[in-house]
Structure 1
Amino acid sequence: MEEKTFKLLEKMYSEFSQRFEAIDEKFGEMDKRFDTLENEVKKNRNSIVELENKLGDKIDALFDGYKQNTEAINRLETKFDALAEKVDKQEVEIRVIKGAK
């Protein structure tokens, strides 16, 4: 009876040992995968920072150009309004001159 119990315990121990080894192996694989993922995340972070640095200057330059274009358009609108006003005055003067004849 004791020998049967001992063999049963020995068999159980062997099975548990095999299962624990399999679990340890899977944890090792998971650790490798997590390390790979961690490295990829770091690479992505670095790439994002590089892009932000490159694009930041370009976006600032584009915004400056946009502001300059807006200011130029505003100046042209002012000049156009002044010219339109002169044309209106000259049309009135021409009518007056033609009406006087």
Structure 2
Amino acid sequence: MINVMGFEEKVMNYLAEIHQKITGIENEVAGIKSEVAGVKNEVAGVKSEVADIKKTVIHIEYDHGQKLSALFDGYEQNTQAIEQLRKGQERLEQRVDRLESGMNRIVQGQEELSLKVEQNTQAIKSLEDRVATQEIKLQLIK
């Protein structure tokens, strides 16, 4: 019986040891389940944040798209305005050239008139001198 008792005791000790290990494993599994539940909660939170980030990125892309479109429109308008200004400048330059040409003709005409006035003034002076001489002669004759 001692043998049997020793055997039973060993079996009981072994079963107690197995029971302890199973209890430890169950406790570890419960801890792992708890950690997995925490990880699931964190993943759900990350998924929610990612969804929010996606919405924000979509909003930013939309806003930037509109702003880029507005900038491009403004660029086109500026280009058109610059082209119109260049055309206007060309017209004004042509007009200035025509006015300068006209002014040159007027100045030239003025110089010619001044020369003729000077010549006529001299001719009048000469005639006045001749008339004065003729008057003196008439007075002498009388």
**Further displaced range: 4-13 or 60-69:** 60-69
- The structure with the larger Rg is 2
Deviation at residue 90 of structure 1 after TM alignment: 4.1
What residue number does 2:11 align with?
A: 2
| Aligned-residue CA RMSD (Å) | 2.4
Q: Does 1:44 align with 2:53?
A: yes
Which of 59, 66, 90 matches 2:75?
66
Give 1:1-101 correspondences, 5 Å limit: 1-88=10-97, 90-91=99-100, 94-95=103-104, 98=107, 101=111
Between the aligned partners of 1:57 and 1:10, the Cα distance in structure 2 is: 69
2:50 is matched by which residue type in structure 1?
Answer: V
Q: Number of residues paired by the alignment?
A: 101
For residue 91 of structure 1, report the CA deviation from its aligned partner: 3.8
Q: Kindly, what percent of the aligned residue pairs are identical?
A: 23
Give the letter aligned to residue 71 of structure 1.
Q
Structure 1 residue 16 displacement after superposition: 0.8
TM-score (norm 1): 0.77
Q: Unaligned regions of 5+ residues in structure 2, if any?
A: 1-9, 112-142
2:130 is matched with which residue?
none
What are the Cα deviations for residues 39-63 of structure 1, in whole angstroms up to 9, with x where unaligned? Answer: 1111222233234344434432332
What is the alpha-carbon distance in structure 1 between the residues aligned to residue 11 and residue 101 of structure 2?
127
Comparing 55-64 and 7-16, the one that deviates more: 55-64
Distance (whole Å) between structure 2 residues aligned to residue 84 and residue 5 of structure 1: 112
Amino acid paired to 2:11: E
The TM-score normalised by the length of structure 2 is: 0.58
